[in-house]
Amino acid sequence: MVLEVRVQPGQSMVSRLEAKPAIVLAALGEYLARGSVSGSRIEGLQVGQAASVLVGGNRYSGRVHSFGLEPQAPGGSEHDISVVFSSGAAVLRAGQSASVELQR
């Protein structure tokens, strides 16, 4: 699925100066849930760790894609976390509320 086209027909691109994607693509049915997790919960967290994502009353299996190594704000305890999951045939919309449950 094409999310964004950053070039116009006939536009010249010079990738030696600053390489930026010309087109942003997304895999159909694959989503990224973003949120935050407390510093106490981030202990032992690993990329690839199993997680589940609840969106609109439906639960989807996923895995930890990435997490912040530093707090969101100086002196804070909340860290960014991203969980990738597949919705199968269901179409979800960007910005929908989601809850993430980390598996231990």
Handedness of CA 96, 92, 58, 65 (dihedral sign): negative
Domain chopping of the chain, boundaries: 30-102
Task: Tell me: pLDDT of 81 over 90.
Answer: yes
Query: pLDDT over 90 for what percent of the chain?
Result: 38
In the predicted model, what is the mean pLDDT of the chain? 87
Could you tell me the pLDDT band of residue 63, with boundaries at 50, 70 and 90? very high
pLDDT of residue 27: 77
pLDDT of residue 93: 85
Burial (Cβ within 10 Å: 0-12, 13-18, ≥19) of residue 52: middle
- Residues 26-47 pLDDT 10s: 777 889 999 999 988 888 889 9
How many Cβ atoms are within 10 Å of 88's Cβ, its own excluded? 9
Backbone angles phi, psi at 6, to 5 degrees: -105, 15
pLDDT of residue 62: 95
The domain made up of 30-102 has a fold known as Elongation Factor Tu (Ef-tu); domain 3 (2.40.30)
Could you tell me the pLDDT band of residue 59, with boundaries at 50, 70 and 90? very high
Element (H, E) at 40: helix 39-42
